[in-house]
Structure 1
Amino acid sequence: MSFSHASAFEGFLAEDQVGVVTTLRPDGTPHVVPVRFTWDEAEKLVRVLTVAGSRKARNVAAAPGGRAVLCQVSGFQWVTFDGTATVSDDPWRIALAARRYALRYGSPPPSPPDRVVIEIAVDRVRSLNV
Structure 2
Amino acid sequence: MNRTATELPVGTRAFLARPRTATLTTLRPDGTPHVTPVRFTFDASTGLARVTTRAGARKARNVAAGGPTAPVALCQEDGFRWVTLEGRAAVTDDPESLAEAVRRYTARYRAAPPAPPDLVAIEIAVERILSLNL
- What TM-score results when the alignment is normalised by the length of structure 2? 0.92
Give the corresponding residue for 1:51.
54
Unpaired runs of 5+ in structure 2? none
Equivalent position SS for 1:49: strand
Q: Which amino acid is the alignment partner of residue 57 of structure 1?
A: A
Task: Quote the offset at 1:15 in angstroms.
Answer: 1.3
Question: What do the CA deviations read for 1:56-80 (whole angstroms, capped 9, x no partner)?
Answer: 0000001112200000000111000
1:84-99 aligned within 5 A: 84-99=88-103
The answer for the alignment partner of 2:45 in structure 1 is: 42
Paired-residue identity, %:
55
Moved over 3 A (4+): none
TM-superposed CA distance for 1:99, in Å, is: 0.5
Q: What is the match of residue 111 of structure 2?
A: 107
Aligned length in residues:
128
Structure 1 CA distance for aligned equivalents of residues 19 and 74 of structure 2: 16
**What is the RMSD of the two structures over their aligned residues, measured on CA atoms?**
0.8
* Pairwise CA distance, 1:89: 0.5
Query: What TM-score does the superposition give when structure 1 sets the normalisation length?
Result: 0.95
Report the counterpart of residue 84 of structure 2 in structure 1.
80
